[in-house]
Amino acid sequence: MKKIYTYPFLMFMVLCSCKQEAKKEAALLTMGPLTISKAQPVPGDEIDLTYRTDQELEGFYSYMVGDTYYPVDIDFSEANGEQKSSIKIPDSAVALSFIIQVDGSYDHNEAKGYFLPLYTKDGSVLPGSKAATAKYALQNGSNYGIKTDAKVAFENIKSDITAHPELQSDWNTAYFEMAYKNDKAEGEKLIDAYTTSILKKSDLTEKEYTSVVNSYSLMGEESKIDSLKTVIIKKYPNGSTARFDIFDQFQKETDLAKKTELFKKYETVLSKLDNIGNYMAEILANEYFKNKDMEHFETYLSKIQDDSRKAATYNSLAWPMAEKGETLTQAETMSKKSLDLIAGLQKDPKDKPNYLTKKQHIQGLDNQYRMYADTYALILFKQGKVADAIAYQEKAQHPKLQDVDGNARYVEFLMADQQYEKVVTKAETYLKLGHGNAKIKEAYKTAYLKINPEAKDVNEQLNAFEKEAYNTQFAAIKKSMLDEEAPAFSLKDMQGKTVSLAEQKGKTVILDFWATWCGPCKASFPGMQEVVTKYKDDDNVILLFVDTFEKGVNREKMVEDFIKSNNYDFHVIYDPAIENSRDFEVASKYDISGIPTKVIIGPDGRMKFKSVGYSGSNEKLVNEMDIMIAILKS
């Protein structure tokens, strides 16, 4: 009898096993090359990630709590053409976003991104998950190539909050701001209803008062804000609103003694200085340094409780002295202190900002150390300590050798030490990578001839390096080519004339987004002037300099004075601020989150390239513009 029942029993077990395997397969979630081990994970779960590639991979995930997100590194390991990792979902999370970089480029999953809602144990999407992913995509997506429609994002947030009213207290500011942008009338209605309901309460907390103030600020209700602030400060004299009011007075005050008293007042209400307090202490330290009052300089510098900010202050004061070659002993002391502070943080990377992963925080400290080592090396060199200068300039080298000015200084120091063979090797590397300049070319030529006095091929060598750099840059630029809609615009220029994108159809249009306060923008302008001059007689190439992220009643005069004083031949157009918003019309349309940013639009009227930042080399910038224009003309 035992034999009779064994076969059916085994068949039953096999069938059950097959069903379980099918359930396991069904439980997987695959999005492009990314596979997640659980399609409906709940907070606290551990999930496995598999990404199909044998290329270099870096990534992090952000877990979302309410309308806030927290990024965490993902440590992948490669095996058989796949990258694998595991993460434990925090208990407080409502959704996840995965940001993955393959061989230096972000994989945006066909502009959809990699988003994972989280679930309850009964399989329902967690309240707030839909809203959190929508806000993250809208706020951060453009940094990683993720596209999202603002109206769709708002509707997702609205539907989530409508279905789960308990979410509203955590979402008020973000929700109302998006509602107001999406539909001004509906936004005002929502804000009015909310503020009325809150102000009916008999005893408001400061958080509730602040939410009302934030709501009023969206609509520009300054008189209501001012009267409410008076009430809040009286009721909560040591609260955040009172501190912000002190800070506002501090910003406006020009008398140093009165500024100092305001800081002391701010300091008394806190057991430990916050970011604003550290900033105020930094401002005072700088002011006293300018007045050559070193006693008060040291007093207020010592009050900065953020070592990274303190190091930045030392470096910002040491660098001008290094450039001018003045008070070098003092500059050396201050610069060394900046290095020691960062070195201490590298050993114990504390106080990581919530918006950075651990790796990003450490990379930021490494970047700071290299920047400050560059300052220290220049000071040592100008003091005649050439060997020490070389040692620190080596520490200052960018991992990808992209700091052109730093490369030039390193070569200069090696030349001074008569290390000609090393100059030839280093200069050749920089020039082939496109991270060189005229000084590096000249140093290469001199060193090459020192080693080979009879050589006749030095110019041939330099031409070969230049050609290799051009080809490398050309391939990289062509690989980055886009084909996206270029949003229409009509803006006023400095002469008051209207300039529209539609009028430029059939031409290559370069939009350079900038502002007068932007250091890298201004540093790039000599190079951009070269581009303007080079193409001034080419009717098929149009350069427009879009002044953005800039407000104030004197905005136009400030811009015009800057352009005139620098003798730039730029066609400047003004990007207007969106009413009752921190955003600007055209910058928002083009997803501009930082400047300088250059957008290149092809003759077909579509966006073909987007270049963010400034490399530090005007020669490289001109080459980049030439290549993009050449590609679009071909």
Residue-wise pLDDT tens digits, 347-400: 998 889 999 999 999 999 999 999 999 999 999 999 999 999 999 999 999 999
**CATH class, 484-633 region:** alpha beta
Ranking 46-55, 68-77, 145-154, 412-421 by mean pLDDT, the lowest is 145-154
Alpha carbons within 13 angstroms on the beta-carbon side of residue 55 total 13
- Domain positions in the chain are 1-178, 274-285+293-477, 484-633
Pairing type for strands 34-36 and 29-31 reads: antiparallel
**Is-contact 284 250, C-beta < 8 A?**
no
**Which phi and psi (to 5°) does residue 55 adopt?**
-85, 170
**Is-contact 71 62, C-beta < 8 A?**
yes
- Name the band, by pLDDT with cuts 50, 70 and 90, for residue 13: very low
**Is-contact 323 360, C-beta < 8 A?**
no
Mean pLDDT score, 230-235: 94
| Residue among 167, 377, 499, 518 flagged as catalytic | 518
Beta bridge partners of 79: 82
- Residue-wise pLDDT tens digits, 68-94: 999 999 999 988 889 999 999 999 999
Q: What is the pLDDT of residue 282?
A: 96
Alpha carbons within 13 angstroms on the beta-carbon side of residue 173 total 14
Kindly report the average pLDDT of the chain as a whole number: 91
Q: What is the pLDDT of residue 19?
A: 45
Asked, as a colleague might, if the bond just before 603 is cis with ω within 30 of 0, I would say: no
Q: Which CATH entry fits the domain spanning 1-178: 3.40.50.720, 2.20.28.270, 3.40.1160.10, 2.60.40.10?
A: 2.60.40.10
Question: Which residue's entry shows tokens 């995965």?
Answer: 98
In 10 A of CB 2, how many CB atoms? 6
- Residue-wise pLDDT tens digits, 399-418: 999 899 999 999 999 999 99
DSSP letter at 169 equals H
Alpha carbons within 13 angstroms on the beta-carbon side of residue 489 total 23
Please tell me the distance from the alpha carbon of residue 217 to that of residue 239, in angstroms, as a whole number. Answer: 19
Mean pLDDT score, 335-353: 93
- Name the band, by pLDDT with cuts 50, 70 and 90, for residue 570: very high
Residue 459 pLDDT > 50, yes or no?
Answer: yes
| 16 in catalytic set | no
Q: What is the pLDDT of residue 46?
A: 96
Q: Which CATH code for domain 274-285+293-477?
A: 1.25.40.10
| 18 in catalytic set | no
Q: What is the pLDDT of residue 24?
A: 45
- Name the band, by pLDDT with cuts 50, 70 and 90, for residue 11: very low
| Residue among 36, 74, 521, 541 flagged as catalytic | 521
Q: What is the pLDDT of residue 202?
A: 86
